[in-house]
Every structure is written in C-alpha cells, then in structure tokens.
Amino acid sequence: MPSDRKPGGELLTGVEVQKHNSRDSCWVIVHGKAYDVTDFLPEHPGGQSIILKYAGKDATEEFEPIHPPDTLDKYLDPSKHLGPVAMDTVMRGDKIVDPEEGERQLRVQRMPTLDQCYNLLDFEAVARRVMKKTAWAYYSSGADDEMTLRENHSAFHKIWFRPRILVDVENVDISTTMLGSPVSVPFYVTATALGKLGHAEGEICLTRAAHTHNVIQMIPTLASCSFDEIVDARGPDQIQWLQLYVNKDRDITKRIIQHAQRRGCKALFITVDAPQLGRREKDMRSKFSDPGSAVQAVNSRSAFPLDRSQGAARAISSFIDPSLSWKDIPWFQSVTNMPIVLKGVQRVDDVLRAVQMNIPAVVLSNHGGRQLDFAPSSVELLAEVMPELRRRGWQDRIEVYIDGGVRRATDILKALCLGAKGVGIGRPFLYAMSAYGVPGVERAMQLLKDEK
C-alpha cells in the first residue's frame, strides 16, 4: 500500500497524486477518486501510453467515453483504490487548443433542426459533420478496403419488389414477435460499442428511445455505460437482449450470462464472427492523431515500445477468446435458460448446423463490414439460407435475423419478404443519437414506421 495513502476519511490532495506521475509509480484520478494503476500498465488493452499521459492527473474525461463507470471497481484490486481526492486542489492543465474542435463546435451550432431530418441517411450526414473525428472514425469504419461495408447497403439496391394490386391494405399491422416477445416493429436496436463517444448519456439514449417505440434493445458487451445502468434505465415490460463477446475466462463469462438472466434479459446473442476484432484502418489512424497520446512515450532506454497498431476497437477487445468453437455451445446451453442466438453467421451450412444443435435463432451478419472484408452481405446470404431451410422443412425450427446496411423501411421489407424474422439496426441509431440525443433516435424510429 502506498505510504501516502490517507487513512480513514481523509482526502488526498492533487499535489500528493501528482507525485506519482511515472511508469514506476502511476496514479490517476477518475470521478474524484485516486487509483494506483502502476501494476496494471503492462496489461492495459489500449497500451500504456494513454494511461501515462494522465499519470498524476485527472483522467476522467478520457476514461468516461470508453469505459463503463464500474470498470475500476471490477477489475482493479481494492488495495489499489486509494480513496477520494479533494478536487479543488487538483491543478487543471491547460488544454491544447485544437482548431478542428473550434470548427466542429461551429458546425454543431449550424446543424439542421431535428424536423429537417427525413430519413436515416440525413442523420448520418449530420453526424459526420458534428461528431468528433475519433468518434466518427470508430463508428463509421469498416475492415480493410471497406468493400463489405459498402456492399451491405448496396446489396439492397439489387432487390426489386413485385407489387400485387387490388389487395385490401386499409389496416396495416407491422407488429410481430421476436424470440417469443411481442414488439411493435420488425426491427431492433442491435449491439454497438462505445455509445458515449457519440453522446454523453451513451447507450441509455438508445434504451429510452427503444422503450418509447416498443423496440427491442440488444445490450453490447463493450458499452460505455455499465450493464446495470442500461438495465436500470429500461421501462416497464421493455425487452432487452444481451450481446456477448466470450471472455477467455469462462468463470467471468458465466457470471456475465447469469447476471443478465437475473436482471431480466430475454436472450443471449453470442458474437461468433470476431475471434479478434478486424483491422479498421480509419479507426487505427484516427486513434493516434491525438497530439497528446505520445506524452511520456518510450525513449531509447525504455523496455516498453509504443504500440501504434491499434485503434479504439482493438484496444478494448483483447479479452475475447479466439478458441471459441461449436464444442462450446453445450456449455452455454448448460449455464442459462435464455434462448441462445449465434450472431455473425455467414454460411448456409453453419445455419444448418445451428438447427441441428437446437439453436433457436441466428443473426446473419458480417459485423457491419468491420471484420472480414469481402464477407457476403447479409441480405444476399439470406436469399441462400431460406430456400435451403424450406427444402429441408426446417424453416420453422429456427428464427433468422439479419443486420447490416439497413437504411430504409423498404430494406426491412425486403428482408422480411426473403424470410427474415426481423432486422437489426446499429449505426443509423448511433448517428441519430450523436447528433440529437434521445429525440434523434426516437425520430429515426418513427421515420422507419412512417416509411412502412
């Protein structure tokens, strides 16, 4: 235990914290409390340099968008929790004047009013102008040359309707059920990470908007808000699912799953297309454009080389188990009563195998074009999967969902016509949230309803 840790209820001072500003003794302040992260430096998924940038300082502003608030309590030994800090004694460092940030604030002031957004693409255009560069890069990036990212959307343009005439459409009902839960629309909010990069309230914005419209929300493993914060924000009878990146430590994985079940999540979506997160070059470039990111970076005498190969995606995902395989499915089935869904299926034969293993649903998905470039678009794969399921008489043994590239209600309708049970939407709701908060997401959902 550090010698100058305060006993009892005494507050640490900023001067005391500031003494510990090196790799040999590194303290940081987060939300008014000091933590000794010296031993954690080599283990930090995002590298040491970003922590060392805030050694002896208040790191809250950098910490908050990327980490749930309970991260330090969960993963840092209690002996490293040094206690509260008298924040009026903490020196506020001069912020680097960023001309780009000044220009961005001007664009925020000039952005269109919410009622001037008429479709999901409008939200994307506004978000691109008003979001911080690093946030936009993380949300919008795809793998490698981003061919699959673009194909996800353009594939819908290759599918044409054959409209019937003289059909009574006076009353149109778009409500449905997903995994046994009744919902008002055949789309859901799919899991997307780091909500606070776009808005200070993060994923809770999506929770509130989803409740307003009776839309299911899939809670992401890599949320900025804690799992419990998101669950606590849901309304009465609101349906939430859990998306899971499987941890190498199965005890941790089991605790996460069973906690989600106790808190009322209605399904477990296991991400199966990301043994490690993809090479998203736009994100990787942006992550290290921060002029302060190399402060206290290595010199010629250091044994810790600065890793500039990571973006936000890889920096937060090193815990994911690359050994996950079909043989693990019975274990998941043994630890929960929630329906288990495989998210990220990209082959017909894998869908058939899922049926044989009594998996109740799959999501045809290529991770929004963020994993393997040149993976097939989800809607094109759907057109291959459903005929084979029907040929075998298995179409009622599994629910098939898709995500990726959906921007219009006609895209959703095309997926339903091809046999999908429902459609996940991710980036468009993030863009609406980033620009306009909860009202933006609510309007985005309403626009899709209006387009039906």
| pLDDT for residue 8 is more than 90 | no
Q: Are 279 and 304 in contact (CB under 8 A)?
A: no
How many residues in the chain? 452
64-78, 300-314, 323-337: the lowest-pLDDT one: 300-314
Over the stretch 380-439, which tens digit does the pLDDT of each residue have?
999 999 999 999 999 999 999 999 999 999 999 999 999 999 999 999 999 999 999 999
* Predicted local confidence at residue 42, as pLDDT: 73
Measured from the Cβ of residue 350, the count of other Cβ atoms closer than 10 Å reads: 16
Task: Name which residue leads in pLDDT, 310 or 153.
Answer: 153
Q: Please give the angle made by the CA atoms of 362, 452 and 415, to the nearest 5 degrees.
A: 25
Q: Three-state SS for 376?
A: coil
Tell me how far the alpha carbon of residue 229 is from its chain's centroid. 15
Sign for the pseudo-dihedral over CA of 447, 209, 413, 171: negative
Q: pLDDT-derived band of residue 308, with 50, 70 and 90 as boundaries? A: very low
Active-site hit among 36, 122, 273, 403? 273
CATH architecture of 114-277+319-451: Alpha-Beta Barrel (3.20)
Q: For residues 51 and 392, what is the distance between their CA atoms, to the nearest angstrom?
A: 55
| Domains 14-92+288-312 and 114-277+319-451 fall in the same CATH topology | no
For 360: left if phi > 0, alpha if psi spans -120 to 50, otherwise beta; the answer is alpha
Q: pLDDT-derived band of residue 297, with 50, 70 and 90 as boundaries? A: very low
Averaged pLDDT score across all residues of the chain: 88
Active-site hit among 245, 401, 431, 436? 245
Fold of 14-92+288-312: Flavocytochrome B2; Chain A, domain 1 (3.10.120)
| Alpha helix positions (H), 393-423 | 409-417
* Predicted local confidence at residue 389, as pLDDT: 99
Q: Are 84 and 33 in contact (CB under 8 A)?
A: yes
| pLDDT for residue 85 is more than 80 | yes
Q: pLDDT-derived band of residue 309, with 50, 70 and 90 as boundaries? A: very low
Mean pLDDT of 363-367: 97
Over the stretch 317-346, which tens digit does the pLDDT of each residue have?
667 899 999 999 999 999 999 999 999 999
Q: For residues 431 and 370, what is the distance between their CA atoms, to the nearest angstrom?
A: 17
- 367 labelled catalytic: yes
| Six-digit token string for 239 | 């349906």
Residue 121: its H or E element: helix 120-130
Torsion angles phi and psi, residue 90, rounded to 5: -85, 125
Sign for the pseudo-dihedral over CA of 95, 101, 103, 104: negative
Residue spans per domain, the chain: 14-92+288-312, 114-277+319-451
Active-site hit among 35, 153, 367, 436? 367
Over the stretch 95-138, which tens digit does the pLDDT of each residue have?
556 788 889 999 999 999 999 999 999 999 999 999 998 899 99
369: amino acid identity, one letter: G
* Predicted local confidence at residue 44, as pLDDT: 67
Q: Please give the angle made by the CA atoms of 61, 63 and 65, to the nearest 5 degrees.
A: 80
